Structure 1
């Protein structure tokens, strides 16, 4: 079975890397599903979205909140380069809910609200 070689990185660290059978990313033009054999693409990530990865080994799906950034597909290699990224499994849901409430109370920063909601979605909680 063909697989993708995936790397999800932020300036702070490598968030996830490995072999995958599917990657789903939200771009500024819409959602994109990437499977082995996909045509080459360079895209812009939607700030405050979730990247989902299905590992090739059948392990638990990976969800990560991403801030602005880019992704590229070349051959069967997918690189996701995010300004900010956080694995859903590392997110404190209660703290993320509180941060969303703080952003909503402040009123006008839609980027902060999108990121706060994406953190909750990546963690598997309702936003």
Structure 2
């Protein structure tokens, strides 16, 4: 009796699995049918227009190659590096000038007020 119940349960589970598999296959077949339908509706490719586009692309590539962009880009990079070096040098000079100003202010604070170079009263 127990074995029969187990067999019945297994049969029901197998039937459920088969139903799920059947539904999954139907879904995939529906997707494939939709894709085939879409592929059937694709317009034919106009080879003349495709060749025109290809020629336009070749002309554009030729213009780019003839414009010597690589050399111009290298020159611009060199100029940018030179400007960066100049900016770095200016920053260094500004720091040095500020340090000199602080040094002069420190000297000014340490000097006494007034003049202490008094002439001698007696003459030798």
TM over 0.5: no
Greater helix share, structure number: 2
Structure with greater Cα Rg: 2
Higher RCO (CA 8 Å, separation ≥ 6 residues): 1
Greater strand share, structure number: 1
